[in-house]
Structure 1
């Protein structure tokens, strides 16, 4: 049991068990693995500050199956949700709305991906996901602050939840900044992945949901294995953590086992996909965040799925859907990749990438200032650094799916 668990009198628990007392406490609310990976990036801004204690909790969520093991690997102190809602904290961080109205703390919310790409077009959920009133003020309670990546979000917010505008801060995008800082390391990443000179890396990406590219994997994956010559191409598959959680990790591994046995790298849901994206030559994707982040790189993009009614029409995903070529079921896959590379126009994709953040390279500075202001503390006397991504493991080591699922 953690000394931070309030199952006994807090003053007694601190006096008996804790070495550092009277710290400012930050609660990190991890609903899903995707949310957790985004929030952990931000926690680097609180490193080495002995005035702050960070703790974690995991609210119930339909896609929360992978969260306990994620938090265990992380090694942070974890409070049971039913205990966390009975405590008070100096700051809470969340990338999703479920249950956060029960937390006693100044709440800072932020998107878990590349802005706000999806919309609901019918029913009571109508609007841009993440910027609706039910997203920003669950239970009728507004957070202390809302962090958004781009100034363009403000006009959408004004339409859907204008009362949140005074609380909204344009801070930028952490994944954008890490990827941008890592672009000069592309050659090193490719070497670490085990790619030979001239070999092309194809990364197949899927978000979650019925209209994601995962719904086409049954037809796409055989083509990936049969039509791309092994000497010229290496392939990797990246599936959104919500697919793994929703269908069960065993089932997803079973579906992808043959790909892995034939040399396609299958990324585990907790893996860091960003170095792979920097190293890629081609991306076959959809309307999700990872495909959009690939506009920062020199990879050509082919869209296997791009459902108009699910895409926020004011988002960069909508612009990408009009720019990137669509995958054809009839033409050879290698020819389509060659075509996409030949038609690639860096200036067009740079315009789309610029719509991800209006604060490029400044997320750490902006977010740290906001967090410390909410904590009532002065910032550390040094510039927050945007660290390039670490070198990835070799493609053959990304997953042990071949051993986990019987032939």
Structure 2
């Protein structure tokens, strides 16, 4: 992209003649994938209302760019700066939820995980053609570049992750901070709006919501059992149950919104609440009475907030021992042929133990992530932190896709 295509925004040469709010610190929000973007949207409210700060978004342009990400950012109405322009500017703060392209950015980086836990649940990288070495989100090759530690603050979810970092990349320990999990904190806090979310989904107090939760890849529910939504719809009496589906953003990104909607159009016509990838999955989990899921983060979050969970798919031999997905697998029942009402009852029976295990595995700082993250952000951006406690907006209500 030529410089003629760069935006005339609040940073760069001549910015002082364009801005209305002068002297703002600039924070860059890096969105290489929709998954990273949705996590960063949990964090940016901690900073963006401050009149001393200007947020700018960018989507990396590379040869393996994920489609639809720019449209996702534009739908949030953030100021979108071309990647080629962003890498030429030095920012006061860089917010990232992915390891991708960090070495090209200028400014102190706050790096957070984009799912449940900073470490991966898969034993091996999904990108590897043959599994050789176990992969985590804390490996040296992800956190360093030419001997330089990339993040200025590495936000970890648990003390166990800090211990793992000491073995995998000990030179990053000085920048590591255990912050907990802001997504889980928001979902727990959002429990007080459960009835509002249920009303948005068209549920009366007597109707139970069963949600199918699928991650991406061929070993997910949607990869292995694409007919499950239809089967659950047919097995449960529509007078007492409603069914929703939450699919990982990568399902939508790789296959396209039109195609995914077409694949599930018969189910939507039969009453399935199909939740879009960019809005409402957290609220849907809060509204749910039973989740049928797999090894993905969404299923783990549902378990952690106390929703009964049954597993219908998963990479049985490829989960990292002790990972969040592995712990969920050990404590949740497996979906079997037979009446669903008995399996729902079994999930309810095992819910309390599962919730305790999943919650502890996801966060060592329950309820504290917003405060710890905000303090780190203000330290990096070089401004005094506001006196008032951090305020997090209500989670967006789910708006199911129509066909």
Q: Give 1:5 deviation, angstroms.
A: 7.3
Aligned with 1:360 (options 361, 366, 384)? 366
- Taking structure 1 as the reference length, what is the TM-score of the superposition? 0.90
Deviation digits for residues 324-347 of structure 1 (CA, Å, limit 9, x no counterpart)? 01112x223343223322x22414
- 8 Å CA contact 2:48–2:55 kept in 1: the answer is no
What count of residue pairs does the alignment treat as equivalent?
Answer: 391
Aligned partner of 1:257 in structure 2 is: 265
Aligned with 2:174 (options 166, 176, 181)? 166
CA RMSD of aligned residues (A): 2.1
Aligned with 2:356 (options 320, 330, 350)? 350
Q: Give 1:386 deviation, angstroms.
A: 4.2
Comparing 90-99 and 345-354, the one that deviates more: 345-354
The correspondence of residues 245-324 of structure 1 with structure 2, limited to 5 A, is 245-324=253-332
Aligned partner of 1:180 in structure 2 is: 188
Taking a change above 3 Å as real, the CA distance of residues 125 and 366 of structure 1, as seen in their structure-2 partners, is: farther
In structure 2, what is the Cα distance between the partners aligned to 1:331 and 1:60?
49
Aligned partner of 1:101 in structure 2 is: 103
- 8 Å CA contact 2:156–2:176 kept in 1: the answer is yes
In structure 1, what is the Cα distance between the partners aligned to 2:146 and 2:320?
25
Deviation digits for residues 108-136 of structure 1 (CA, Å, limit 9, x no counterpart)? 11100111342343758733431112222
Deviation digits for residues 65-94 of structure 1 (CA, Å, limit 9, x no counterpart)? 121111112222111111111111111111
In structure 2, what is the Cα distance between the partners aligned to 1:274 and 1:217?
23
Deviation digits for residues 378-400 of structure 1 (CA, Å, limit 9, x no counterpart)? 1011111344435x25xxx5112
In structure 1, what is the Cα distance between the partners aligned to 2:225 and 2:73?
30
In structure 1, what is the Cα distance between the partners aligned to 2:351 and 2:110?
38
Q: Give 1:296 deviation, angstroms.
A: 3.0
Deviation digits for residues 277-321 of structure 1 (CA, Å, limit 9, x no counterpart)? 111111011111110111233421110113244323232321111
Deviation digits for residues 207-258 of structure 1 (CA, Å, limit 9, x no counterpart)? 1112111113323123122211111110001100011111222221111111
Asked if 1:377 corresponds to 2:383, the answer is yes
- Taking structure 2 as the reference length, what is the TM-score of the superposition? 0.91
Q: Give 1:21 deviation, angstroms.
A: 2.5
- 8 Å CA contact 1:200–1:233 kept in 2: the answer is yes
Q: Give 1:139 deviation, angstroms.
A: 5.3
Aligned partner of 1:119 in structure 2 is: 122
Aligned partner of 2:20 in structure 1 is: 19
Aligned with 2:8 (options 3, 25, 44)? 3
Partner secondary structure for residue 379 of structure 2: helix
The correspondence of residues 59-98 of structure 1 with structure 2, limited to 5 A, is 59-60=60-61, 62=64, 64-98=66-100
Structure 1: gaps (5+ residues): 403-407
The correspondence of residues 126-205 of structure 1 with structure 2, limited to 5 A, is 126-138=133-145, 140-142=147-149, 143-205=151-213
In structure 2, what is the Cα distance between the partners aligned to 1:179 and 1:76?
24
Runs of 4+ in 1 over 6 A off after TM superposition: none
Taking a change above 3 Å as real, the CA distance of residues 188 and 250 of structure 1, as seen in their structure-2 partners, is: closer
Aligned with 1:207 (options 209, 215, 219)? 215
Taking a change above 3 Å as real, the CA distance of residues 365 and 138 of structure 1, as seen in their structure-2 partners, is: same
